[in-house]
């Protein structure tokens, strides 16, 4: 029941906001209602976390009701360690985003209610998608997230927003519809083998022929690869992030895109382990290309928002690489990376968004020497940037290291090329920082003021978490690891045995350690 309440709270908040009468500027009531709802959701998610038994493993806090009998679709929720981590990410980021978005200048100020209502709708649907243990329910929620994001980009973004919104929607819809074909296929196969059911636990017991499994896998994977986004299906992301407001970008990249990588773990690996294994060489190559391509293009960007979008393409490459390397280490790294990347990208998008709003331009070449007049902003950008390039001591480092360490045991070339991505990351972040913040104050930047209290309040939690998890990631890993073990044992690959002889007994090697 608690999961339903958790997902329903933001949705109810969104409906409430839609019903609230519009008030004259500065629209404080809508903002505070939205913030309040998101904080309540955060508290609820902490309650969920407290109720979640870390050692028990499996799906917990489950609830199940029949939904559409003919389809075998259930309203079935439950969380494992991976799901709860991402739910937590969602509930932490949403209040941060909402608080940071207080100052957003909207094209039509009258639509403030709608702006925050759509944000809360995204949060609720995302929580639902992370908690769904029924393929049909997951699909519906996964696709439904497109609608609020589409309106967020299209109604509240920059001058090219409607092009970006349509591109975003069509790309994601193509993937989603291919997944729909697979969902239909699952239904038919499941109905042939008895009563139709979309429950994860029932679907895992289906017998597929090899070819069927591969085709169904491709449908799911297409949707997730576009969502994640994996090269060469990524081109919608820079456009969307370049036009959207910073808050929308955070929700899109840090939360909704995570449903893609999350879906790969829960649905691709969970339902089609054989096909996932079959496809892994190709996916790994694409992931490595994503890492390098995203990083190289990030270096070449002049628009800060597009730069961050390309860094995300690179980071998602790492996450996908870790997933398809099929080792407990890399998979745990990927899951942790989803959380950390969410935080670090959120901090980057938000702080650069504040910069851009002050300067009135997103071009790196328009900035220069801002550090002198806005030291706090510059400091936050530095921390966020360094976290994005995985500086040790900041959260993403741990996860990137785990991914690479895990991948090394599976494929040395893939890991070696992926490691190059870290070097490139240093380039794109540091060059950007240098041009924007250091040097003499460039003309036109005089009006850039430092962060005010509200903005600091919104960014502080993200920065604290980035630093804190950089030194002490174990609490999160304790939640994640039992779930990862289950996934790996389901895929049935197991960790590869070390090639160098080790002085431990055979059984310990079979079990595989963490990190």
Number of residues interacting with other proteins: please give it, by CB under 8 A. Answer: 38
Q: Does 158 bind other proteins (CB under 8 A)?
A: no
Who contacts 155 (Cβ-Cβ below 8 Å, separation ≥6)?
Answer: 107, 108, 111, 114, 115, 161
* Binding span for other proteins by CB under 8 A among 32-40, 141-149, 385-393, 436-444: 141-149
Runs of H (alpha helix) within 204-303: 210-227, 236-243, 246-250, 257-263, 270-271, 273-299
Q: Does 23 bind other proteins (CB under 8 A)?
A: no
What CA–CA distance (Å, rounded) separates 484 from 97?
A: 29
The single residue among 92, 97, 119, 161 that binds other proteins, judged by CB under 8 A, is 161
Who contacts 152 (Cβ-Cβ below 8 Å, separation ≥6)?
Answer: 115, 118, 119, 122, 244, 245, 248, 251
Who contacts 495 (Cβ-Cβ below 8 Å, separation ≥6)?
Answer: 327, 328, 329, 409, 488, 512
Sign of CA dihedral 152, 156, 157, 160: positive
The single residue among 84, 152, 169, 325 that binds other proteins, judged by CB under 8 A, is 169
* Binding span for other proteins by CB under 8 A among 170-178, 199-207, 274-282, 337-345: 170-178
Phi first, then psi: give them for residue 494, nearest 5 degrees. Answer: 70, 160
Q: Does 502 bind other proteins (CB under 8 A)?
A: no
Residue 59 beta carbon to other proteins: minimum distance, rounded to whole angstroms? 23
The single residue among 2, 39, 173, 441 that binds other proteins, judged by CB under 8 A, is 173
* Binding span for other proteins by CB under 8 A among 43-51, 172-180, 391-399, 419-427: 172-180
- Count of CB atoms within 10 A of residue 395's CB? 27
Looking at the Cβ atoms of 271 and 414, the one nearer to other proteins is: 271
* Binding span for other proteins by CB under 8 A among 55-63, 179-187, 276-284, 507-515: 179-187
Looking at the Cβ atoms of 183 and 338, the one nearer to other proteins is: 183
Q: Are 59 and 80 in contact (CB under 8 A)?
A: yes
SS3 of residue 160 by DSSP: coil
The single residue among 43, 56, 68, 504 that binds other proteins, judged by CB under 8 A, is 68
Q: Does 69 bind other proteins (CB under 8 A)?
A: yes
Cis amide bond preceding 232, omega within 30: yes
What CA–CA distance (Å, rounded) separates 504 from 515?
A: 16
Who contacts 417 (Cβ-Cβ below 8 Å, separation ≥6)?
Answer: 288, 291, 292
Looking at the Cβ atoms of 173 and 296, the one nearer to other proteins is: 173
Residues 215-244 that bind other proteins (CB under 8 A): 215
* Binding span for other proteins by CB under 8 A among 157-165, 226-234, 336-344, 466-474: 157-165
The single residue among 49, 178, 289, 292 that binds other proteins, judged by CB under 8 A, is 178
> Which neighbouring-strand residues pair with 303?
363
Residue 211 beta carbon to other proteins: minimum distance, rounded to whole angstroms? 11
- Count of CB atoms within 10 A of residue 226's CB? 23
| CA–CA distances in Å: residue 289 to residues 65, 162, 421, 425 | 43, 30, 10, 14
Looking at the Cβ atoms of 137 and 404, the one nearer to other proteins is: 137
* Binding span for other proteins by CB under 8 A among 153-161, 202-210, 302-310, 407-415: 153-161
Name the residues that contact other proteins, by CB under 8 A.
Answer: 67-71, 108, 139-141, 143-144, 146-147, 150-151, 154-155, 161-162, 165-166, 169-170, 173-174, 177-178, 180-181, 183-185, 187-188, 191, 195-196, 215
């Amino acid at each position: 029941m608690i999961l339903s309440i958790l997902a329903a709270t933001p949705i109810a908040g969104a409906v409430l906001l839609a019903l609230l009468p519009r008030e004259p500027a500065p629209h404080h009531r809508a903002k505070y209602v939205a913030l309040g709802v998101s904080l309540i959701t955060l508290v609820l998610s902490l309650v969920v976390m407290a109720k979640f038994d870390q050692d028990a493993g499996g799906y917990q806090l489950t609830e199940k009701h029949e939904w559409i009998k003919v389809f075998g679709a259930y309203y079935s929720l439950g969380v494992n360690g991976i799901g709860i981590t991402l739910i937590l990410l969602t509930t932490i980021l949403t209040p941060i985003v909402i608080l940071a978005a207080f100052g957003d200048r909207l094209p039509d100020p009258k639509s403030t209610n709608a702006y925050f209502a759509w944000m809360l709708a995204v949060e609720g649907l995302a929580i639902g998608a992370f908690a769904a243990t029924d393929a049909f329910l997951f699909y519906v929620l996964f696709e439904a997230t497109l609608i609020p994001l589409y309106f967020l980009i299209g109604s509240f973004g920059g001058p090219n927003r409607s092009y970006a919104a349509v591109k975003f929607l069509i790309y994601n819809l193509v993937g989603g519809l291919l997944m729909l074909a697979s969902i239909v296929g699952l239904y038919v196969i499941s109905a042939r083998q008895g009563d139709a059911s979309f429950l994860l636990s029932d679907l895992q017991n289906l017998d597929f022929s090899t070819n069927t499994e591969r085709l169904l896998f491709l449908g799911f994977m297409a949707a997730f690869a576009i969502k994640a986004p994996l090269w060469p299906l990524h081109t919608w992301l820079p456009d969307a992030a370049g036009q959207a407001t910073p808050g929308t970008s955070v929700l899109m990249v840090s939360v909704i895109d995570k449903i893609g990588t999350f879906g790969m773990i829960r649905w691709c690996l969970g339902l089609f382990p054989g096909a996932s294994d079959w496809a892994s060489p190709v996916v790994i190559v694409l992931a490595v290309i994503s890492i390098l391509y995203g990083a190289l293009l990030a270096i070449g960007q002049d628009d800060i928002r597009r730069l961050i979008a390309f860094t995300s393409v690179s980071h998602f490459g790492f996450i996908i690489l870790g997933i398809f390397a099929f080792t407990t280490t890399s998979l745990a790294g990927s899951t942790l990376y989803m959380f950390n990347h969410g935080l670090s990208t959120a901090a980057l998008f938000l702080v650069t968004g504040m910069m851009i709003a002050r300067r009135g331009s997103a071009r790196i070449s328009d900035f220069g020497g801002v550090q002198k007049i806005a030291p706090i902003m510059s400091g936050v950008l530095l921390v966020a940037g360094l976290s994005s390039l995985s500086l040790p001591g900041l959260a993403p480092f741990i996860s990137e290291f785990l991914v690479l360490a895990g991948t090394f045991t599976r494929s040395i070339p893939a890991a070696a090329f992926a490691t190059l991505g870290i070097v490139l990351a240093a380039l794109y972040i540091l060059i950007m920082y240098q041009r924007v913040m250091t040097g003499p104050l460039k003309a036109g930047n005089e009006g850039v003021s430092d962060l005010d209290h509200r903005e600091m309040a919104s960014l502080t939690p993200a920065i604290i978490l980035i630093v804190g998890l950089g030194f002490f990631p174990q609490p999160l890993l304790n939640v994640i690891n039992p779930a990862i073990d289950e996934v790996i044992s389901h895929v049935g690959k197991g960790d590869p045995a070390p090639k160098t002889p080790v002085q431990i007994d055979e059984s310990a090697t079979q079990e595989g350690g963490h990190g």
